[in-house]
Amino acid sequence: MSHLPFIIAAYAVFFLVLGSDALGSWLRLRLARRQALRRQQRLQARAQPQTATPLAPELSR
């Protein structure tokens, strides 16, 4: 029975590493989704014609 604390500690470390790995992957995926959404919004904004901007007086003559 003297080996039982070592086995419990090994399982605890295993689940701690497993949990931190899952958390890191989830955070990385969340960041990648946010970046992709921003990139898509930026590209959509560029694709829309910007007719609302007034022309400079030099260009309208």
- Distance, in Å, from the CA atom of 24 to the CA atom of 30, rounded to the nearest integer, reads 10
Q: What predicted TM-score, i.e. pTM, was given to this entire model?
A: 0.62
DSSP-based helix, strand, coil % in the chain, nearest 5: 80, 0, 20
- Distance, in Å, from the CA atom of 43 to the CA atom of 25, rounded to the nearest integer, reads 27
- Distance, in Å, from the CA atom of 45 to the CA atom of 34, rounded to the nearest integer, reads 16
pLDDT tens digits in sequence order for the chain, 61 residues long: 799 999 999 999 999 999 999 999 999 999 999 999 999 999 998 888 765 555 566 665 5
End-to-end Cα distance, the chain? 94
Distance from CA of residue 17 to its chain's centroid? Answer: 21
